Structure 1
């Protein structure tokens, strides 16, 4: 059960309706496979074949290279509706379409490399992700120096190290990695093609988001040519533009999509379930109606914040730097409201919601993963607090 295109107030034109319709078709297909991949912890290769065939993988590729050049708002819409069918697939593909959206604005890769990869995505369904997290350093957003090493050699670099939480690892033919440049205080981002010296260790066995393929990727003296060092911290390229962070809204979009699906499942259940102690379905009970109302408040609040921030990011490019706290707020609100919505949905359905024959227990596990995706709640809250303190300080001086 999903919200119709006609009644979704966040769909504003024909192009957005077509994007939503494609996501809905894919979501319906993926929903039938979700339980299987969740149980096995297996990677949904068939889902990614469908994403390629439908054109979804080229959502944020520039038109010049055959893509759809989706705006941030359109990216959020596509991801939110796709996640109503399967959270793991949506979060995983979100790193690909999100990264391509980021690269379109930052100009972070050499143009020849960027153009070649975009065409590979359109033609063959090639996927990309940036592998930065390591067990010792944790999330790169916390500022740790990579333990993965890059050693200069003739014509390029030799990379050795281990990356954790490497989402999409079973299907990646290429990726970028962050590494410390041996003998310097600098770090670099390197474009790596899978092959000799690259192996995936299947370490991903987790509570939620079990089908993202976020295994460890191990690099052992992997050769990377000089022209595939895409960025070096000590030698910034003049044409590289700052990352304004909008692309990370693919994360809250995913979790709100999962919550929407849980809400719709619970409402459908309440409208149909009538225990023999009642003469009407439980949807008529005041307590159930109150809980449905609470879910709706949380959902409308989260979607309003998410879509309004995405819209402003698209319309006000000169204010994108100033919008960064709102990007974090959108993620904080969406993730925490999603957890609340799924929890309430389970209360409405009752003990049956714990059964693995229903999707709610999987949704309950999946939404909790949002707490561990960037930006983290403490960073968002502290950033908003600092902005408030600075504003009042300026007012009082």
Structure 2
């Protein structure tokens, strides 16, 4: 493995191409296919795949830095590719623990397969602990899935969908089935993504009408409910770290834009540059203090996942807290950047205006504020007495 250099994988000129496209992608409400093509050519889909399988061989800590860098240029592109990286990251987490059932995901990523994340369902606040999608055994070790998944990023372009469903063949002992299906006639992707922000993710609703995962694509069967199974930890850990990375990248871009604005604007009243105004200096310092606090947390927890550190019962509290703090801090920083930039940032042509809309999406990803607080409270106080 060579020394890690984020700028070598995502050079400035490539990021500027992404940034130059982002406003039009948002305005037209389309998927950034040119961005995906550039990322594919750069080997980005395989950054978490071991070198022995043709990938870059990086860990979650390196992927976090790359996603921060990408999100600072094109948040929606970063959030969309996040979902592909979740599955390659889960494959790595499992492989690090001696479970090789997702090797086909690693091989597929290197070959150009694009993996989507089919877990979210309307009204299902159990998330990883339950599913309203029916998983029916096909009799040969495979499963047929029928149900509706929401927020399926990469909607127009994914080639394989990782998902879960509930097998109730034995109603007294239901099982959650994790598997992968191909894009075929049994899968319908609705063209229904028309949102306030993160429009380029094209996180469309996905209908499953008996979509079949063959036996060799059924990767895990577990009991519903809170579960220590490695796939649950793998999904939760990679998902939360990479989400936190994207919104930390958004925060960095907003901070940079605020600094640039403060240096370039001059007060008519005082004649001073905004960068010399004590109120502006205090506001930017607050932004930088908040941003700096996120970096060591991201670095430490992503490295701990890679190193298989043992946080015991606190793992889920730490991960949900990381994601929650990243989104709250990012939103705070974007808010402050808007005030530094002044009224011009309120126009849709402003990049800050787009970041302001994009950052709001963070509150809706698991763990949402309620779930994060519930998880942390349970870790420190124990479960609620019944």
Indicate whether the TM-score tops 0.5: yes
Q: Which secondary structure state, in structure 1, belongs to the residue aligned with residue 3 of structure 2? A: helix
Q: Which secondary structure state, in structure 2, belongs to the residue aligned with residue 161 of structure 1? A: strand
1:311 positional shift: 3.1
| CA pair 252-305 structure 1, distance change in 2 beyond 3 A | same
1:228 positional shift: 2.3
Matched residue, 1:23: 10
Matched residue, 2:327: 335
Matched residue, 1:353: 345
Tell me if the contact between 1:346 and 1:353 (Cα under 8 Å) persists in the aligned partners: yes
Matched residue, 1:280: 272
Distance in 2, matches of 1:358 and 1:241, equals 41
Distance in 1, matches of 2:8 and 2:286, equals 28
Matched residue, 1:374: 366
- The two structures have a TM-score, normalised by structure 1, of 0.85
Matched residue, 2:175: 186
Q: Which secondary structure state, in structure 2, belongs to the residue aligned with residue 38 of structure 1? A: helix
1:315 positional shift: 4.2
Question: In the alignment, is residue 224 of structure 1 matched against residue 213 of structure 2?
Answer: yes
1:331 positional shift: 1.4
Deviation digits for residues 122-165 of structure 1 (CA, Å, limit 9, x no counterpart): 13x21112302222425614x44323442535674433222111
Q: Which secondary structure state, in structure 2, belongs to the residue aligned with residue 219 of structure 1? A: strand
RMSD: 2.6
Distance in 1, matches of 2:322 and 2:164, equals 27
Tell me if the contact between 2:91 and 2:106 (Cα under 8 Å) persists in the aligned partners: no
Alignment of 1:271-350 (within 5 A): 271-315=263-307, 317-319=309-311, 322-350=314-342
Distance in 2, matches of 1:180 and 1:387, equals 27
1:234 positional shift: 5.5
Deviation digits for residues 244-303 of structure 1 (CA, Å, limit 9, x no counterpart): 543120001100101110110111011011243342221111111111111111111122
- The two structures have a TM-score, normalised by structure 2, of 0.88
Distance in 2, matches of 1:50 and 1:349, equals 32
| CA pair 300-364 structure 1, distance change in 2 beyond 3 A | same
Matched residue, 2:83: 95
| CA pair 207-138 structure 1, distance change in 2 beyond 3 A | farther
| CA pair 315-219 structure 1, distance change in 2 beyond 3 A | closer
Q: Which secondary structure state, in structure 2, belongs to the residue aligned with residue 129 of structure 1? A: strand
Question: In the alignment, is residue 212 of structure 1 matched against residue 195 of structure 2?
Answer: no
Query: Which of the residues 121, 126, 131 maps onto 1:134?
Result: 121
Deviation digits for residues 184-209 of structure 1 (CA, Å, limit 9, x no counterpart): 32231221111122221111111111
Distance in 1, matches of 2:108 and 2:72, equals 28
1:81 positional shift: 1.0
Distance in 1, matches of 2:242 and 2:11, equals 16
Q: Which secondary structure state, in structure 2, belongs to the residue aligned with residue 259 of structure 1? A: helix
Matched residue, 1:243: 233
Matched residue, 1:393: none
Number of equivalences: 371
Moved more, 338-347 or 328-337: 328-337
Question: In the alignment, is residue 164 of structure 1 matched against residue 156 of structure 2?
Answer: no
Deviation digits for residues 45-95 of structure 1 (CA, Å, limit 9, x no counterpart): 110001110111111012221112212211111111111001111011112
Tell me if the contact between 2:323 and 2:367 (Cα under 8 Å) persists in the aligned partners: yes
| CA pair 246-70 structure 1, distance change in 2 beyond 3 A | farther
Tell me if the contact between 2:255 and 2:287 (Cα under 8 Å) persists in the aligned partners: yes
| CA pair 170-321 structure 1, distance change in 2 beyond 3 A | farther
Matched residue, 1:10: none
| CA pair 150-69 structure 1, distance change in 2 beyond 3 A | same
| CA pair 173-85 structure 1, distance change in 2 beyond 3 A | same
Moved more, 339-348 or 244-253: 244-253
1:21 positional shift: 4.0
